[in-house]
Amino acid sequence: MSMYKKVDTSLNFVEREQKIVEYWNENKIFEESVTANEGKEEFSFYDGPPTANGKPHIGHILTRVMKDIVPRYKTMKGYHVLRKAGWDTHGLPVELEVEKLLGFEGKTQIEGYGIEPFIQKCKESVWKYSSEWKKMSDRVGYWCDMDEPYVTYHDDYIESEWWAIKKIHEKGLLYKGHKIVPYCPRCGTALSSHEVAQGYKDVKQMTAFVKFKVVGKENTYILAWTTTPWTLPSNVALCMNPAYDYAEVQMTESGEKYILAQNLLVSVLGEEGYSVLSVKKGSEYEYTEYEPLFSYGKEVCRFKEKAYFVTNDEYVTLFDGTGVVHIAPAFGEDDYKVGKKYGLPVVQLITEEGKFPEGCGDYTGVRAQAADPAIVKELKARGLLLKTQEITHSYPF
C-alpha cells in the first residue's frame, strides 16, 4: 500500500497554496523553526527594508526569495536565526507621493502647509500597501518576523543610528569630503542612482569645442570638448590620457595652433586646412598651464589651490571629442577623482536651487543648463569657441 495519497488531477493549486500558508500560520511553523534552535550559535538577519507606499512587483518577489535562502539554510545547519523584517519609511518617494496627494509643486509649499502636518501625512502614506507586502511575502514562503518589524521613523531606530554615528566619530573614522551624486533642484535634495534610473530621456543637446589658451605660447590653444557648457565657469583643469599621441597643428587660414589627440584630427578639423607641427604623448603635456576661461571660480570660491593646468588620467578616451577633457571636480565623478589626485579646488558655481550664485556676472540667478547658449555665445565673441555640435544625449529628468 502506498504511503502517499494520490494527487487529485482536479487540484486547485492556488487554493492548496493558501491552505499551506494557513497551516504555517495556525501552527506557528516559522516561530517554531526559530525557537527550536534557541541556545545554539546565533546568526542574525535584518531585512534590507522596502518602502510600503508602493506596490510590490516581480522584482521584489525575486529579492524576497533570494533573501530567504540564507537564513533558511543557516536554520537547517542548526543556528538560532532571528529574522527581523523592516520598513523604510524615509526618502524622496514617500515625500513625492504626499506632495502629489496635496497638489504641491515645491518645498516652499510644504513649509507653508507645515512641516509637522506634512510628516504626519508621510507617516500615513508609508503604510498604504503594507497588507499587500505581507500577503506577497507569505505567498512566496518568505519567513521573517513581520509582526514586530523595525521601522525607520521610530525613535529607537533613529537613536540607534545616531549612536552608531557617534561611536564611529569617537574612533576617528568620520571625515569631511565631497561625493558626486545626482541632485534635484526642485526637491532640494540628492538623489540615489535608483531614483535617477527611473527618469532618463533622450534629448538634443548643444556641445562645444572650446579653445584654452596656453600660457606663454602665442596663438596656441588646447582644444577640449564638453557636453555641458554650463560647467565651464567651474573649470579648473584639463585632462589628457598619458599614453595617447597629441598633435600640435597650425591652421593655414588663421595661423592659430591647436593641440588635440592625433587620432581625432580629421573628425574635429577635417582632412585639410592645417599642418602638423609636432606629436607628443599626453604625459609630455602634464602640468602645461593655460589661461582660465572665466574668473568667477576664483572670485566667488576664493580658492588657494593651484589650478588651470593639464592633468593626466587613463579614463580619457578617443571615442569622441578631442581626446582632452575639461575638468570641473564638483560636477563629475571622474573629474573629482582627477581633482583629488592633483589637489585641485572643488569650484561649485551652482546653488542648491540649481542656479549660478551672486558674483557670476550676467549668469547670476540663471539656471545651470539654461546658461548654455549664453556661455557659448560669449566664448564665440571672445574667440575661444572652435565650433558647436548638436548631439542626442541620454539625460536624467
The predicted pLDDT at position 197 comes to 66
Is residue 1's pLDDT more than 60? no
Is residue 343's pLDDT more than 80? yes
Sorted by sequence, the CB contacts under 8 Å of residue 374 that are 6+ apart come out as 362, 363, 366
Cβ-in-10-Å burial (0-12, 13-18, 19+) of 269 comes to buried
Is residue 5's pLDDT more than 90? no
Q: How many CB atoms lie within 10 A of CB 114?
A: 10
- If you search the block for the grid coordinates 512566496, which residue do you land on? 140
Report how far residue 157's alpha carbon sits from residue 163's, in angstroms, rounded to the nearest whole number: 10
Kindly report the average pLDDT of the chain as a whole number: 91
**319-326: average pLDDT:** 94
C-alpha cell read off for 279: 606629436
Q: Hey, where are the domains in the chain? A: 13-89+126-173, 201-396
Greater pLDDT, 135 or 237: 237
The predicted pLDDT at position 290 comes to 98
DSSP 264: G
Q: Specify the pTM.
A: 0.75
Band of residue 177 on the pLDDT scale cut at 50, 70, 90:
confident
The predicted pLDDT at position 91 comes to 77
Band of residue 209 on the pLDDT scale cut at 50, 70, 90:
very high
Segment 84-112, tens digit of pLDDT: 999 988 878 788 889 988 998 877 888 89
CA angle 335, 338, 340 (to 5 degrees): 110
Q: What distances in angstroms separate CA 325 from CA 179, 287, 317, 320, one per listed residue?
A: 20, 14, 9, 11
- If you search the block for the grid coordinates 604625459, which residue do you land on? 283
Is residue 259 within 8 Å of residue 221, measured between CB atoms? yes
Percent of the chain clearing pLDDT 70 (strictly above): 98
Q: According to DSSP H, which parts of 27-91 are helical?
A: 29-35, 58-76
Is residue 15's pLDDT more than 80? yes
As beta bridge partners, residue 309 has 237, 289
- CATH class of the domain comprising 201-396: alpha beta
Sorted by sequence, the CB contacts under 8 Å of residue 89 that are 6+ apart come out as 51, 122, 123, 126, 151, 152, 153
Report how far residue 222's alpha carbon sits from residue 226's, in angstroms, rounded to the nearest whole number: 13
Report how far residue 173's alpha carbon sits from residue 168's, in angstroms, rounded to the nearest whole number: 6
The predicted pLDDT at position 205 comes to 84
Lowest mean pLDDT among 134-138, 185-189, 315-319, 381-385: 185-189
Q: For the chain, list the strands marked E by DSSP.
A: 42-46, 80-87, 145-151, 183-184, 189-190, 200-213, 220-226, 237-240, 245-251, 257-261, 274-281, 309-312, 324-327, 385-396
C-alpha cell read off for 252: 593655414
Is residue 159's pLDDT more than 80? yes
Is residue 143 within 8 Å of residue 85, measured between CB atoms? no
Report how far residue 182's alpha carbon sits from residue 172's, in angstroms, rounded to the nearest whole number: 28
Lowest mean pLDDT among 112-116, 217-221, 391-395: 391-395
Calculate helix-pair angle for 92-102, 115-125, nearest 10 degrees: 110
The predicted pLDDT at position 2 comes to 58
**332-354: average pLDDT:** 94
Is residue 276 within 8 Å of residue 249, measured between CB atoms? yes
**68-94: average pLDDT:** 91
Query: Which residue in 153, 85, 155 sits closest to 120, CA to CA?
Result: 153
Is residue 30's pLDDT more than 70? yes
Greater pLDDT, 269 or 46: 269
Is residue 147's pLDDT more than 90? no
What does CATH list as the number for 13-89+126-173? 3.40.50.620
